[in-house]
């Protein structure tokens, strides 16, 4: 897919893992969880794969030095939107679609990513958010839909009204963007929140304001879209992979 680039976010420390390792470098069945994501993305045959690194970046850069990836450095780490901004210089000559996902979603499948990219292209969308419908939406951002598959905005749990908290469709953190739409929207993102971070999710509302179409695409299997934040969740993923063998 020469008109596809992938940006994989791998800069975080993962404080809840209770370890100084980069979160994506924690192993699942003897292999860093980032390797699972990279191998699956490679099946799409993207023109470029950019890994955004930060915390203990040399560890990751040395480990993957012979892999078909490029690195962008995020320092300091100022949120997901800021992380994606660091990849822009690597994509100056590229035009097409950009898949953005975290390095801590080891179960995401080639089929789901391909469906997301195809959906974005078919709908001539500025952005499509891969969503999941969960029995308990927990701490995830809720998807506020307009007509059909279009999104109005993504609302974080702490900002959601009691009515919005009842929504079971969540943002998984995996997106497909049209490249120029992505970086023009990122220029408008402000760090006006408690964390003083630049959120990638803010691009959805910004693109809407620009009059650009943005969509939600629900994953058929929500379990494959969820990230790993704790060692307990990592153990659960290992069990799932072992039982699938």
Active site residue ranges: 16
Of 205, 186, 194, which Cα lies nearest the Cα of 81?
A: 186
Contact 7, 173 (CB under 8 A): no
Measured CA to CA, the distance from residue 188 to residue 166 in angstroms comes to 30
Backbone angles phi, psi at 7, to 5 degrees: -115, 120
Q: For the chain, how big is the Rg over CA atoms in Å? A: 17
CA angle centred on 130, ends 124 and 133, rounded to 5°: 130
- What count of other Cβ atoms lies within 10 Å of the Cβ of residue 231? 14
How many angstroms separate the most distant Cα atoms in the chain? 49
């Amino acid at each position: 897919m020469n008109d596809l680039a992938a940006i994989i976010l791998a800069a975080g420390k993962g404080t809840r893992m209770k370890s100084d390792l980069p979160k994506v470098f924690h192993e699942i069945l003897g292999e860093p969880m980032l390797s699972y994501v990279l191998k699956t993305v490679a099946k799409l045959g993207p023109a470029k794969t950019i890994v955004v690194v930060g915390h203990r970046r040399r560890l990751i850069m040395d480990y993957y030095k012979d892999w078909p990836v490029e690195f962008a450095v995020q320092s300091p780490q100022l949120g997901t939107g800021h992380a994606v901004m660091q990849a822009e210089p690597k994509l100056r000559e590229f035009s097409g679609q950009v898949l953005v996902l975290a390095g801590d979603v080891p179960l995401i499948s080639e089929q789901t990513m391909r469906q997301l990219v195809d959906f974005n292209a078919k709908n001539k969308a500025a952005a499509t958010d891969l969503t999941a419908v969960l029995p308990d939406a927990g701490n995830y951002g809720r998807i506020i839909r307009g007509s059909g598959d279009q999104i109005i905005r993504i609302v974080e749990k702490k900002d959601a009204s009691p009515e919005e908290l009842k929504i079971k469709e969540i943002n998984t953190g995996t997106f497909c963007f049209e490249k120029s739409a992505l970086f023009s929207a990122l220029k408008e993102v402000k760090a006006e929140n408690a964390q003083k971070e630049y959120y990638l999710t803010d691009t959805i509302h910004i693109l809407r304001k620009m009059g650009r179409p943005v969509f939600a695409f629900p994953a058929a299997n929500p379990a494959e879209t969820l990230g790993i934040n704790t060692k307990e969740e990592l153990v659960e993923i290992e069990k799932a992979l072992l039982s699938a063998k």
